[in-house]
Amino acid sequence: MKKAKIFVPSKTAMQSGRGKTKKWILKFETRHGNTNPLMGWESSDDTIGEVVLEFATKDKAIEYAKNNKLHYEVIEPQKSDFIIKSYADNFLKD
């Protein structure tokens, strides 16, 4: 039976927007591949690692995993507190 993990991707360091963090991803775990001793490239004969499924909600991703009899692990997103500060706060003394 295949193992999968369900998660929300984190935002990239190259962008300040959070557009790609709204969908839930179901990604299959794969076996470890082989490393080519000459070039150092990694290869694998397990192509299921290339499959990434996107879902609008966590419930839909879990339902898909249950319907297809997958062992799954849900990784909840970490919420960070956003502190609103003004530029003047840099010059005020506490």
Going by pLDDT thresholds of 50, 70 and 90, the confidence category of residue 40 is: confident
What is the pTM assigned to this prediction?
0.70
Q: Which residue has better confidence, 71 or 21?
A: 71
Question: What's the domain range around 55?
Answer: 3-11+21-90
Token readout for 55 is: 């879902």
Taking the chain, what is the end-to-end CA distance rounded to the nearest angstrom?
59
25: left (phi over 0), alpha (psi -120 to 50) or beta: beta
pLDDT of residue 1: 65
**What residue has token string 């397990």?**
46
Proportion of the chain above pLDDT 70, given as a percent: 94
CATH of the domain at 79: 3.30.160
For 67, the enclosing helix (H) or strand (E) is helix 58-67
34 within domain boundaries: yes
Chain-centroid distance of CA 4 in Å reads: 11
pLDDT in tens, 47-66: 888 899 999 999 999 999 99
Count of structural domains within the chain: 1
